[in-house]
Structure 1
Amino acid sequence: MSTGLPQFSVSVYQNEYLPEGANEVNAIVTVTSSGSTAGPSNARAAQVIMVDCSGSMDYPSTKMSAARQATKAAIDAIREGVPFAVVAGTHVARMVFPNTEYLVPADASTRAAAKAAVDRLTSGGGTAIGQWLAMADRLFTGHEDAIRHAILLTDGKDEHESPSDLDQAIARCEGRFTCDCRGVGTDWVVAELRRIAAGLLGTVDIVADPSGLAADFRQMVEGAMGKAVADVRLRLWSPQGASVKFVKQVAPSVADLTGKRLQTGPLAGDYPTGAWGAESRDYHVCVAVRAGSVGDEMLAGRASLVSIDSSGQAEVLGQGLVRAVWTDDAALSTKLNRQVAHYTGQAELADAIQEGLEARKNGDFDTATAKLGRAVQLASESGNEETTKLLRKVVDVEDPATGTVRLKARVNDADEMALDTRSSKTVRVGKGNNQG
């Protein structure tokens, strides 16, 4: 197994007391990694950069020039010796550097050659993102023991393949590499890039001004180079007769992992969390159990963090316990756990924004007003100032406490898309004792 792994800790925050007859246990599982003793530079990595070169990238021409600059900034940020490649995406995928389908180690010579090839990039053709992902998947073959990271940049809709083609490509790439997605301009589709990012455990964001691309690309690659463990999973054991209702990452952003469960035994399943460096993430776990009587106690779940190596062997990095105690003391059983309450609100906030924007797009202004009003209320209650600022560009806020808002008659496309892409970003709750 790997040596020099980061130090992981797992903490569980919950109100373990339930009223008689209750059969649902909620907990926030906080996982913190303190970084590798060997340092991330000793972790193997692999990097692919996919750049949209479709015809629309020339309108305006600043998009293509900014994409070239951003790709070169990303190449400079790749750690010495890390194998990499650059792919041009249109209605097909083609190699930019190297000129055949393999990854080459980064050094002064290959970086210079790659940047020279990027300088020659021109735009023309359509958009079939599934083809780009398929090429990235092929390029990562043989690098299964590395931390595999891709960047995908597009400025348009996935018009030259069917939605099912893209879905199949995403499904084939799941677990193979992580992918951070960026949309430049306002003619791309948030839902498409969100599907890719959700499937491949990456991020999605808008870069409305092409001049912001280079700093964003550099930051994404530096983040990937700082990872120390490639394949980390949250393994949940629950007792006979219990079942996991859902598992959601709730910080630093909301991501539903429920459908990604990999059964690892009759009572346990793994939820992929991707690669880790020095960081902290929160997960909301909900377990359905058999209803208990007053005085009953049970272990409702065991949350373990496991690292999986390229041969499939698992190493336990840390674990925490989820408990249930049935009581007739209402003061105990009705006390809301601070962490659970906070993140339940943050998940509702993300849903309210996405549903409100969809209703607005479909002309259902009553639903849009109600959902976005609720979003304003939740953002205000939780102190999510960044989301509040984004919401105020889409609605006029009359009373944040009650969620009373009016839809703005005119909304800048970039402002609406920024709210949509960043709707799942959450603010963390201060950690007190586990009774919140």
Structure 2
Amino acid sequence: MERRTGGQERRAGGPGEGRASGRTHGGAEAREGGRTGGHARSARPPEIQVRVDLDGDVRPHRSAKIEAHLRVDVTAGGAPAELPAIELAVIIAVDVAEPLRGVVRHALQAALRSLPDGISFTVLGAGPEPVPCHPRGDAEWAVADQREKRRAAFAAGAIPLHRDGPRPAGYAVWAARARALLAARPLSVRHLLLITDGSSGPGETRLDEELDACAGHFTCDVLAVGADWAPDPLLALAERLHGTAEFVDDGLGQAITGAVRRLRRVHAPQLPIEVTVRPTVRQVALNEKAPRPHRLGGLPQPGRPHRWSFPTYQWEQGGRDYLLTLVADADGDPLETWLQFAMVSVGDVHAPVTARWHRPEQPPPEVAARGDSVRDQKSTTVMRDALRRGLVALKDRRRDAAEGHLGRAARLAARFGTDWVLDEIGAVADIEDASAGRVRLRPAAAVDASTLGPMILRAGSWPVPLPDTAAPQPGARCTRCAAPAGGEARYCIACGEKLL
């Protein structure tokens, strides 16, 4: 299959050629409420660009895999710099044991005093079940003003924390409580901020099930404190609920305030990426790769069996990279003929996924001049995974396995110039030759075991910069709208004009 790129499309007249991008000022506003809120922004919606890039040489067979690199860029346009605070509902949940009361109390009181006026908020403490701290009584939500913030800070001084005795059976309890509370607060941005030291009870059995129920209803950031928490459930919360997970050694109050500020920079609380496929495509998957890894769940559209919607959340100004995977049956498709396998739509911007099957006995007629962006994207995921596996193996004292995984991560980090990965490896091992993947672990006594948990968290949630993408290439263009046009196209895929 030859690599093809596509850009802005409104009508599927023929395949695009070169590298093109679509742009719009509309389309997102009507979708922003979605399942996370019901209030649309009154300001001009953000500007969106979509770019699709296919790489690789896939031969036709019954279950051929087609992979494409999808870049979506959002710019603010005429939107205000910050989302109005009245459009935010935030739960601050404190899942912490009594010994850390001093750390949590002062940080929480400072953060509550600095909440923006107008934000809807509630504070939960820890007991056998999540315990309301502020507001109390019949009210489940408070709206921040000077009086409410003073009352909340005062209540936080005596916030319930875990003591000896029964404890909640894991993070599913907190997620379920947040889901119930936020169901009654249909604002544009609904968010759980979970502060945890891992002191919830060990009986976690239904976190995946609860995250399935929560997906699409709210987002979640996790702030880990102390040293006794396990990274895996925190990373699961952040990935499945489209947030972040980070370790906070000190500066907890600033971390809480910073999380609220990030929410106010959101320009599109929900921005679905829709994929419409040809009938021969049997499976569709979309995964965010940068700036943070997220698993996206596709929602089939009733009455439209070939269209899938992948909700995404908390779009600030900037770009995101996705890996789109299609599994297609090539049995009935013609060879050496341009076909459109899918249309990717974000708001009013559309980009086609076009390619052609090559005869199995012949090499592709064209060789890509640029780097293989899909392979690079997949390798970046392998690098993160190798770093995480190496750190987990080191924590479990499996030193040979740790050395192998960290060596692989170092080799990929050297290839991509990912300095933060090399810095993480350098904290526990001597890097003898990064490009060759040769590292040597330091003696066990020289590695501070308490630092491994935060490192594992960063390996799974640390943001990475998006790679540069090539500018649109010159080529044949439509005489009416100047959109790029493939040499074999009969009609412009952007405006429908018949091509000369």
Which of residues 427, 431, 434 in structure 1 aligns to 2:465? 427
Equivalence for 1:151 = 193
**1:396 alignment counterpart:** 430
Please give the alpha-carbon distance, in whole angstroms, between the structure 2 residues aligned to 1:8 and 1:415: 41
Of 344-353 and 321-330, deviating more is 321-330
Residue from 448, 463, 472 that aligns with 1:412: 448
Partner of residue 175, structure 2 = 133
> Post-superposition shift, 1:152?
0.3
SS of residue matched to 1:350: helix
The one-letter amino acid paired with 2:177 is M
Corresponding position of 1:252:
291
Aligned partners of 1:120, 1:250: CA distance in 2, in Å?
A: 41
Give the conservation status (yes or no) of the 8 Å contact 2:287–2:323.
yes
CA contact (8 A) 1:33 1:280 kept: yes
Q: CA deviation at 1:336?
A: 6.2
One of 397, 401, 407 as aligned partner of 1:373: 407
For 1:278-427, list aligned pairs within 5 A.
278-291=317-330, 294-305=335-346, 316-326=347-357, 330=364, 332-333=366-367, 337-410=371-444, 411-424=447-460, 425=462, 426-427=464-465
CA distance in 1 between partners of 2:356 and 2:472 (Å): 15
C-alpha displacement at 1:137, in angstroms?
Answer: 2.0
Query: Secondary structure in 2 aligned to 1:423?
Result: helix
2: CA distance between counterparts of 1:69 and 1:300? Answer: 56
- Residue 238 of structure 1, CA deviation: 1.5
Q: Which has the higher mean CA deviation after the structures are superposed, 269-278 or 191-200?
A: 269-278
**Is the 2:190–2:218 Cα contact (8 Å) retained in structure 1?**
yes
**Which residue of the partner structure matches residue 94 of structure 1?**
131
| TM-superposed deviation, 1:256 | 2.5
Deviation at 1:179, TM superposition (A): 0.7
Q: Which deviates the most, 8-17 or 394-403?
A: 8-17
Deviation at 1:283, TM superposition (A): 0.8
**Structure 1 pair 202/331, CA: closer, same or farther in 2 (3 Å)?**
same
Q: Residue type of the partner of 1:324?
A: A
SS in 2 for 1:269: strand
Partner of 1:313: none
> Distance in 2 between the 1:358 and 1:245 partners?
31
What's the offset of the Cα at 1:404? 0.7
Given candidates 263, 267, 279, the residue that maps to 2:300 is 263
**What corresponds to 2:276 in structure 1?**
237
Alignment-mate amino acid for residue 413 of structure 2: A
Q: Is the 8 A contact 2:395 2:449 kept in 1?
A: no
Aligned length: 414
How many angstroms apart in 1 are the aligned matches of 2:208 and 2:216? 14
- Answer whether contact 2:89 2:120 (CA < 8 A) is retained: yes
Residue 217 in structure 1 maps to residue 262 in structure 2: no
- The one-letter amino acid paired with 1:322 is V
Give unpaired runs (5+ residues) of structure 2.
Answer: 1-29, 31-39, 474-500
Report the AA paired with residue 119 of structure 2: V
Cα deviation 1:16-55 (Å, max 9, x = unaligned): 6746537332222111221263424347111110112423
C-alpha spacing 1:144/1:427, structure 2 compared with 1 (3 Å)? same
Q: How do 1:168-187 and structure 2 match up within 5 A?
A: 168-187=209-228
Q: Distance in 2 between matches of 1:17 and 1:156?
A: 44
Deviation of 1:76 (Å): 4.1
* Deviation string, structure 1 residues 224-257 (Cα, Å, up to 9, x no partner): 1222333222211121111345321011112232
> What secondary structure sits across from 1:192 in the alignment?
helix
Q: Could you report, residue by residue, the CA deviation over 1:67-96 in whole angstroms, capped at 9, with x for unpaired residues?
A: 223323433453321211111123321111
Shift of 1:120: 2.5
Change (3 A) 1:289 1:134: closer
Q: Secondary structure at the match of 1:372?
A: helix
Q: CA deviation at 1:423?
A: 1.4
- The change in CA–CA distance for 1:319 and 1:266 in structure 2 (over 3 A counts) is same
- Answer whether contact 1:36 1:228 (CA < 8 A) is retained: no
Matched, 1:116 2:154: yes
Task: Choose 405-414 or 276-285, whichever is displaced more.
Answer: 405-414
Q: Using the aligned pairs only, state the percent identity.
A: 23
**1:14 equivalenced with 2:50 (yes/no):** no
Greater mean deviation of Cα atoms: 70-79 or 112-121: 70-79
Residues 125 and 161, structure 2, Cα contact 8 Å, conserved in 1: no
Displacement of 1:403: 0.6
| Aligned-residue offset at 1:359 | 3.2
Indicate the SS of the match to 2:321. Answer: strand
Q: For 1:317 and 1:4, locate their aligned partners in 2 and report how far apart those are by CA, in whole Å.
A: 17
Letter in 2 for 1:423: A
Distance 1:173 1:135, change over 3 A: same
Q: Do 2:119 and 2:143's aligned partners in 1 also have CA atoms closer than 8 Å? A: yes
Unaligned runs of 5+ in 1: 306-315
Query: How far apart, CA to CA, are the structure 2 residues paired with 1:16 and 1:379?
Result: 21
Could you say if the C-alpha distance between residues 143 and 121 of structure 1 is closer, same or farther in structure 2, counting changes exceeding 3 Å? closer
Q: Could you tell me how far apart the structure 1 residues matched to 2:236 and 2:184 are?
A: 26
Shift of 1:127: 4.5
Report the Cα distance in structure 2 between the residues aligned to 1:17 and 1:369, rounded to whole angstroms: 31
Whole-angstrom CA distance in 2 between matches of 1:218 and 1:338: 40
| Structure with the greater alpha carbon radius of gyration | 2
CA offset digits 1:173-229 (Å, max 9, x no partner): 22221010111122100011112222211111112x2x2212211111100122233
Q: Distance in 1 between matches of 2:110 and 2:67?
A: 44
Aligned partner of 2:106 in structure 1 is 69
Q: Which residue of 1 aligns with 2:143?
A: 105
1:28, 1:340 within 8 Å by CA — same for their partners in 2? yes
What residue in structure 1 maps to residue 315 of structure 2? 276
- For the residue of structure 1 that corresponds to 2:386, the secondary structure is helix
Higher strand share: 1
Equivalents in 2 of 1:196, 1:373: separation in Å?
28
Compared with structure 1, are the counterparts of its residues 170 and 330 closer, same or farther at alpha carbon in structure 2 (3 Å cutoff)?
Answer: closer
Contact in 2 for aligned 1:147/1:229 (Cα 8 Å): no
Counterpart Cα distance in 2 of 1:268 and 1:344: 25
Give RMSD over aligned pairs: 2.5
- Indicate how the Cα distance of structure 1 residues 130 and 295 shifts in structure 2: closer, same or farther if over 3 A, else same: closer
